[in-house]
Structure formats: C-alpha cells, structure tokens
Structure 1
Amino acid sequence: MKKKSVWTRAGVSVAAVTVMVGVAGCQDGATKAADEPAAQSPAPAKQSPAEAVQAAYKKTAAAKSAKVRMTMSLPADSKAGGGTMELSGVQGWDPAVMDITMKGSMFKDLAAAGGGEVPEAIRMVVANNVMYMDMGTANAAQLDGKRWMKLDLDAAAKAGGAGPADLGGLGGMSSMNQDPAQQIALLLDSKNLKHVGTEQVEGVSAEHYQGTLSFEEMLAANESSKVLSEADRTALIETVRKAGLKGYDTNLWVNKDGYPARMSVSMEMAGGKIDLDAYYSDYGSAAAVQPPADSETFDLFAMLKEMGGAGAGA
C-alpha cells in the first residue's frame, strides 16, 4: 500500500501537469479547412495580423498532426511541485492522440518527495480521451506487474467535483480544447493582436505575432467550454480565480509555408508564472498511436477511490 500511495501522489502530480499543458484536452475538432486554398506565405505588408493568423489556423487544422517539442515551467509552489518538464514526440488533433516522452527536474522532485523510483523520463500515450503513463519496469513488480498508469478522462469528468481534491477541476479542464489549431483560433480573439516582426526560429525565418487574452475572453471564445454544465463552469471559473490566473500572453511564429514553427503561452498565477514554449515541425506526419494492452495497465482513478479518495495523497 505504501508503494501505491507513492505512485498515487506521483500520478496525480503528473496528471495535473498534463491537463494544464493541455495534452489531455477533449478535442471537439477545429473548423475543417482541407478543401480551402492553402495559405500563402505570411506577408505582413499585404496581410493584417488577423489575416495571417487566420491562414495559419486553417493550415494547422487541416494538417491534423505534427511533431512537437515543448518545455513547460511551473512555479515552485504549484501542486505539481514546480520545476521544468520537457516533452517531445508526435501529437494529433483530429482525432486527438499523442505519443510523447516527458523528462525534467519535476520528476526528480517527485522522487525525492515521495520516496519512489520515478523514472528520469516517462512515456505518455493519449488515445480515445484516455491517458497512459509508462512508470518503468523497476516499479512494475510493485504494481502487480503493470507498468502503465491509466487515467480515463471521461470517467474523471463524470465524477466531477466528487473526485479527489488534487484532481479537482479535471472534469472542467479536460473539456477545454488545447490543440495547436484551437490555440491559434483563441489568439484571433485577442483585441490587441499585432505583428511584432520577422525573426529566426531555429535558423528559419518566421513572422512573429503576439496577443493577450483574459481567462473570461478565452472561456467565451472556446467552443468546447460551452458543453460544461453551469455548475462545472462556475466551479472552473472559481478555481481559476483562486489560482490567480488573469490571462494568457501568446506569441506565435509562422514560417514561410504558413505553419506555426513556434508558439509560447505565458500565464501569470498567484503563485508565479507558468510558461509553455512549443516547437512544431513535420505537419501532417502520421500520428499512429497505439495504447497499451489492458493487461499492462492500472487505473489511477480507481486506485484513488480504493485508497480513500482525497485522503490518498495525505
């Protein structure tokens, strides 16, 4: 039971981070643009910032997948423990799938705090709105031989506010659309969207666009948030207000082919700033994601309920 308690705490922390990153978002799909003319290379002198970003949105939505490399930084007093996390792999957003490897100081901190053998790198697979995390062979013997931790986001969302305290708000956050096309669409709702200039992104010329969006504006603009019940929506807003989130500062770099080469989002919270910095490439590359067999997984949400819900992490 002690080992399970350690991994329950680690699992909750990693799950909370992935929800914040957005990789566990329930994708209701971007507006399809496959039949529309391909966007031309950005031309600030001829295109307004809104037109250029709109063209990038259409191409990204039509691509449906890409390779991604992302760095996330959390303040030290966050529930996930703070530190940095690096993610690299492939992401698809129509349908929503992901196969990435995560590593960083955050996992070392989890190991030190929990007394567990948290791997230096964790592979994460997302398919059918279910998240799987490979906890490594060293821990499989302590977990009935099962190395993959499973979190069914639909089940967690249905549990709503009755879920464990550390996963409070998961039902609301898992309904938020966070694929890159939707992030670009949200940027279009910024009242101060502007073209910053031409810059280099990993040695390639790209057009830099910038905008800010308050949380209320983001929630109003995000189509998938409208499926939330009034109670869930109120709870989500209250949770965000308590966390001190005021809004999002978004920067987008569009390459000569009209695709996002880089996107960064900064969120100012009461406890510090959360930064996401993502690089994208190989748009349209196959995102063939295969979830692990059921015989190799253990259910995090079921384990939390078995161990006493919110008290499991005490």
Structure 2
Amino acid sequence: MSKSAGKRAGIAVTVVALAVGVAGCQDGTGKASGAPASEAPKTQSLGDITKVIQAAYEKTSAAKAAKVKMTMSMTGTGADSGTVEMTGVQGWDPAVMDITMKGSMLSAGGTGGPEQMRMVMLDNVMYMDMGAKQAAEMDGKRWMKMDLKAAADMSGDKSLQKQMTGGLDNMNQDPAQQLALLLDSPNLKHVGAEKINGMETQHYKGTLTFEQMLEANKASKTLSKKDHDALVASMKKAGLKGYDTEVWVNEDGYPARMDVGMTMAQGSMQIRADYSDYGTQAAVQAPPAKDTLDLFEMLKGAGQA
C-alpha cells in the first residue's frame, strides 16, 4: 500500500472515530404518553415534565427520520481540539444517514483531511467521499468503504463481533433514545419557554452520570465486570461528573434542539443538534461499487489487516 493510500486510510479512520464519538452514548428505553409542548403550562411539575418528555419520545420514535444540523466542539484536548459540523438527513429506524461534515476536527492529529466530507451510512456500512484529489490517488475511486461488521466477522472473534455490532448501533445519533435517557435524570427540570430557530419551544434540562450513560450504551454490554469497573474508575479520575443534557420541545411535540455537554479535567465537549422536518424520507443510497474502495480489503491486501 502506498504512503498516500495509507494517509487516506488514516483520514477515514479519524472520521469514523469522530462519528462514533458524537454518537457514543445514546441508547435507552422509555414508555410514552402525555401532552405536546404546546399544551405545557408556564410552570411545570415533575409529573408534567415527564409527560411532555415521554410524549416527545413517542412522536420522535414514530417519525423515524429528520433533517439535522449537528455541531461538536472540543476544547482543551490538545491535537483533538476544534469543531466539526454535520448537516444532512438521518434515520433511526433503520439507522441510516447522509451527511456532510466540515470543520477543523477533520484534520485533527495531522491527518491532512479535507475541508469537508460527505458521509453515508446504511446496512451497517460507512462510506466516506474522499474527494476528487484523493480519488486520483485511489484508481479513481473517491468513496472509502468501511464495513466494520464484516471485518469483525472475518476476525472470528465473538467478543469483537459484539463490540463492532454495538458500535454500529450507536453510530447514528437517535434523538428518541436521547429523550428516553433524559427521563432517567435525577434532576430533570423545566427551564421555561424559549424561541429556537423561529419555533416556540419549552426548554428542559437534566444531568446523567457516566454510569447511567454507560448502562444505556449497547456496546458497553460486551465489557467484562473488570473492564467496566476500570472504565468507570478512569472516567472519575479524569474528572467526568456527568453529562449535562438539554432539550427544547416545539409546539408539535418534537425536539427542535438537543444539547449534550461533558467536562473533564483536561477539557470539555459540547454537542448541539438542531432537528427539523421530522418524518422526512431518509432516501439514503450507497455509492456505485465502481467508485468505492474497501478499506479493510486494502489493508488485508497490504498485510495490515
């Protein structure tokens, strides 16, 4: 494998790491019923709050797809500091997305990544448009394919297979499951009415511990007790106290915006997702095979599998 191709592989892995990082903690369960935000009183009791969030969970889960603009910012984390913005369409039943990424984090770690990149995910496979310049160095194939599940199956490692499958399940940020998680917050509260992106909304917030987020994350189910306890201890040592989660529910009962923030001793991360057009058809298609280069097949052929 050429040095240039190896660099392209490094960029692809970096981008997938960003995607997983954005969506790493978002699986949960919830039951739903109640009134939409438009019926919310000015002052809400915990029971009222729960009904609104549960109703939003039900409507969002049923919508199955939406348009999204998501921004992730990291500060104080050295080479990984910066921002990345993702805009496009996503679906969560099934998990699909077609987004364009741009921002300083694409070239974090000195990978020399492009200024922006289109990324498509469907059928548990990730495709990244590496651009025309990179295509010239990859036999005209501008799309990098990463089939993590196939790579795990090829390894024959049952534990790895479970981890990869869980990671793929988590890769697509699911606003419905974020709402379900928020219901578990011990300090869930109603902040008040606010206007977001031209919409009247009701603002809610709560904090979840790392243990709660880890418990809700499917990929963590494959960890042994020893590894689970070590991970929790590591996060506590790093100074992570919890995830601050906020949601703005519009008059139609859908989340117009969701924020998740976390702060540790070495830095912080903030994720903001603005949603619109719930129920929009997520018509995501894989790029033509003739324009696609399989990353793991390339690595295997180079003896680096």
Normalising by structure 1, report the TM-score.
Answer: 0.81
Q: Structure 1: how far apart are the matches of 2:139 and 2:26?
A: 30
Tell me if 1:53 matches 2:75: no
Letter of the 1:140 counterpart = A
Alignment of 1:1-314 (within 5 A): 1-22=2-23, 39=36, 41-44=38-41, 45=43, 48-75=48-75, 77=77, 81-109=80-108, 113-114=110-111, 116=112, 118-155=113-150, 173-176=167-170, 178-222=173-217, 224-225=218-219, 228-231=221-224, 235=227, 238-239=230-231, 241-242=233-234, 244=238, 245-305=240-300, 309=304
1:286 is paired with a residue whose SS is: coil
Q: Structure 1: how far apart are the matches of 2:95 and 2:50?
A: 26
Aligned length: 293
Shift of 1:139: 0.8
Shift of 1:43: 0.5
Change (3 A) 1:175 1:99: closer
Q: Structure 1: how far apart are the matches of 2:164 and 2:77?
A: 19
Greater displacement, 183-192 / 172-181: 172-181
Q: Structure 2: how far apart are the matches of 1:145 and 1:237?
A: 47
CA deviation string 1:99-118 (max 9, x = no partner):
111111223556xx23x4x3
Shift of 1:225: 4.9
1:185 is paired with a residue whose SS is: helix
Letter of the 1:92 counterpart = G
RMSD: 3.2
Q: Structure 2: how far apart are the matches of 1:267 and 1:309?
A: 35
Q: Structure 1: how far apart are the matches of 2:17 and 2:108?
A: 15
Change (3 A) 1:40 1:198: closer
Letter of the 2:105 counterpart = M
Shift of 1:175: 4.3
CA contact (8 A) 2:29 2:181 kept: no
Shift of 1:42: 4.4
CA contact (8 A) 1:156 1:171 kept: no
CA deviation string 1:267-307 (max 9, x = no partner):
22443111100100000011100011222222233444555
Q: Structure 1: how far apart are the matches of 2:105 and 2:54?
A: 35
Shift of 1:64: 0.5
Q: Structure 2: how far apart are the matches of 1:191 and 1:197?
A: 19
CA contact (8 A) 2:34 2:54 kept: no
CA contact (8 A) 1:260 1:280 kept: yes
2:186 is paired with a residue whose SS is: coil
CA contact (8 A) 1:32 1:62 kept: no
Normalising by structure 2, report the TM-score.
Answer: 0.83
| Runs of 5+ unmatched residues, structure 2 | none
| Runs of 5+ unmatched residues, structure 1 | 164-168
Change (3 A) 1:185 1:146: same
Change (3 A) 1:17 1:239: farther
Change (3 A) 1:234 1:306: farther
Q: Structure 2: how far apart are the matches of 1:219 and 1:260?
A: 23
